[in-house]
Chains A and B, each alone.
Chain A
Amino acid sequence: MTNRTARRLLGGLAVAVAIVWAFPIYWMVNSSLLPNTTLQSFVPTFVPFGGSLGNFREALADGSFYAALGMSVSITLIAVFFCILFAFLAAVAISRFRFRGRKSFVIAVLIVQMLPAEGLFIAQYKMVSSAGLLDSVIGVSIIYVAAVVPFTVWMLRGFVAGIPVDLEEAAMVDGLSRFGAFMRITFPLLAPGLVASGVYAFLQAWNEFTVALVLLPSEAAQTLPLWLRGFVQASATRETDWGQVMAASTLVAVPVIVFFLIVQGRLTSGLVSGAVKG
């Protein structure tokens, strides 16, 4: 009975924490529905009664959002795909084979991601520009894949190591080829791990804005973070129109939230099987 009360109390605590955690997101959506005249008041309005979608219409009016969305989606898809592919192959190599240079590779992978990116932009610009890839999806994607691969290798390495070699070998005894055994046995077991690292790569590519700022100088090639920042800056020359800015933020957040809700189940099971083994 005390146990049950304690559980209830903890349940209440969990809900309270949830409310605090979700409040900024609620606030964003709430403000995005309110007219600017209401938001100008010194007394905040906590519920969007009488709200409208007017702010969204304004934010979407010039169509630049759709262009940025297209850009972000293409870059993210390409970056996630190649990042997972390359990292997966590398993870198999280092967790299934012993070979000369293996340790150096692991350490190099660890250290590369500790290099602060903020000082690299000139070199990255020179490189991408000399390849004629400025303002292109490919140029930014290459940098993103390179930036995200190290951590993904590291993450997947734990997953691959966690799948017993014996399973594969047993399947080979049953007459499957090495590749076939891998595809039938190991790959499905790896799916949660691939999802978990895919989510990581997705977040990095979707959120990045320093590299994008320099490598996508043209307005026509903005990604969503650049679009949102530009939107905020443009609004700030007058008094910031918080309603529209919040609507724009909501627009940028929605695709990610939807994506998360879709992969949510696999993500947790991915963390379950991968995280403990590190």
Chain B
Amino acid sequence: MTAPATAPPASAAPPPPRDAAPSLERRRAIRGPYLLLLPAIGILLVGMGYPTVWQVVTSLQEFGLQQQFGRPAPFIGFENYAALATNAQFWGVVLKSIAFCLITAVVTLVVGIALALLMNAVARAPRLILQIALLLAWSMPVVAAMTVWIWLFDRRRGAVNYLLDAVPGIDMNRFNWLESPSTFFAVASIIVIWMSVPFVSFSTFAGLTQISGEVMEAAALDGASSWQRVRGIILPMIRPVIAIVFLLQIIWDLRVFTQITMLQDAGSKSGEFDLLGTFIYKLGTKSQDFGMASAVSILVLGITIALSWFYIRGLVKDDET
């Protein structure tokens, strides 16, 4: 596109082609980009570099409490990893975490997109009401939100049991949600979905507002049903948003920690209720096996990369063009 000679209005300029080739002059500025990257790389090296290296090294050591108090830590090669590979409990936790992560991320995405479509379809007043409600949920600090949810699901005085019990034919009096892993993770999933849907909805809604009204009207005139319009026009146009949001949900849900820890505080700390985050934390703080905890962290990193490979690959390809 050709640039206007005067400054453009501050409102959104139409997006240029993504891979707009940089000008020659920029290509020559060799030092510039490195200087710009310096602060970010610096803080990453300081804040994450040392801990990450420590973790890799420790995962190859026998490192327990005595090492923490200054005993030398013997290198044991890949023994920690080997022990993990044959540890059925660990693989149980991995599978549970992946299942929890995928189910939660998919439901979050579906509900989030549905609510975005709903926002797009209704009049101004109900839309505003829905947006404010979602905004409130989004802004709740995790610790505060967890405290409220635990109180809602309280076995004896929780509002959830009271309301369900009021439905004729359902006996939920004193039903203990946190007693069996299946209901425990269902509750955890509900809470995570409640917290994450607003982000998905707002991002998707933002994407929807970019779709021009003319296209939609034309499609409607052509006799496309609303479902056809959603599938044929809307979804393809917001696909980039959905891809990012889904990746983020996977990364976040796989590492979900605060929610599980706090639910465990209210219910049981037993291993059946662990996901990867709490599993690692317990290995470190409670069993004081830091070598093993580090090995698990590295493996979790590997799993996350594997799960998100589709996106990383796409990104790299995108970059090469």
| A/B: CB atoms within 8 Å of each other | yes
**Interchain CB contact under 8 A, B301 and A27:** no
Q: Does B16 contact A (CB under 8 A)?
A: yes
Q: Does B74 contact A (CB under 8 A)?
A: no
Report A's interface with B, CB cutoff 8 A: 7, 10-15, 17-19, 21-22, 24-25, 27-28, 31, 39-44, 82, 85-87, 89-90, 92-94, 96-99, 102-103, 105-124, 126-127, 142-143, 145-147, 149-151, 153, 161-167, 169-171, 173-174, 184-185, 188-189, 203, 206-207, 209-210, 224-225, 228-229, 232-233, 242, 245-246, 249-250, 252-253, 256-257, 259-261, 264, 267-269, 271-273, 275-278
Majority SS of interface residues in chain A?
helix
Given A93-B36, A115-B55, A271-B205, 4 new contacts (CB under 8 A): A21-B134, A41-B157, A90-B37, A107-B316
Residues of A within 8 A of B147 (CB): 28, 228, 232, 245-246, 249
Residues of B within 8 A of A146 (CB): 43-44, 46-48
**Interchain CB contact under 8 A, A14 and B241:** no
Residues of B within 8 A of A121 (CB): 284-285
Of the stretches B79-87, B98-106, B304-312, the one at the interface is: B304-312
**Interchain CB contact under 8 A, A118 and B277:** yes
- Supposing A14-B119, A90-B36, A146-B43 touch, asked if A162 and B51 sit within 8 A by C-beta, the answer is no
**Interchain CB contact under 8 A, B118 and A14:** yes
Residues of A within 8 A of B34 (CB): 93, 99
Report B's interface with A, CB cutoff 8 A: 1-5, 7-8, 10, 12-13, 15-16, 18, 20, 22-23, 26-27, 29-30, 32-34, 36-41, 43-44, 46-48, 50-52, 54-55, 58, 68, 115, 118-119, 121-123, 125-127, 129-130, 132-145, 147-149, 151-152, 156-157, 159, 162, 194, 197, 202-203, 205-207, 209-210, 238, 240-241, 243-244, 248, 251, 255, 257-258, 262, 265, 276-278, 280-281, 283-285, 290, 293-294, 296-297, 300-301, 304-305, 308, 312, 315-316, 319-320
Residues of B within 8 A of A92 (CB): 36
Residues of B within 8 A of A93 (CB): 32-34, 36-37
Majority SS of interface residues in chain B?
helix
**Interchain CB contact under 8 A, B43 and A145:** yes
**Complex Cα–Cα for A232 and B206 (A):** 38
- Supposing A98-B22, A164-B1, A167-B13 touch, asked if A111 and B305 sit within 8 A by C-beta, the answer is yes
**Interchain CB contact under 8 A, A89 and B36:** yes
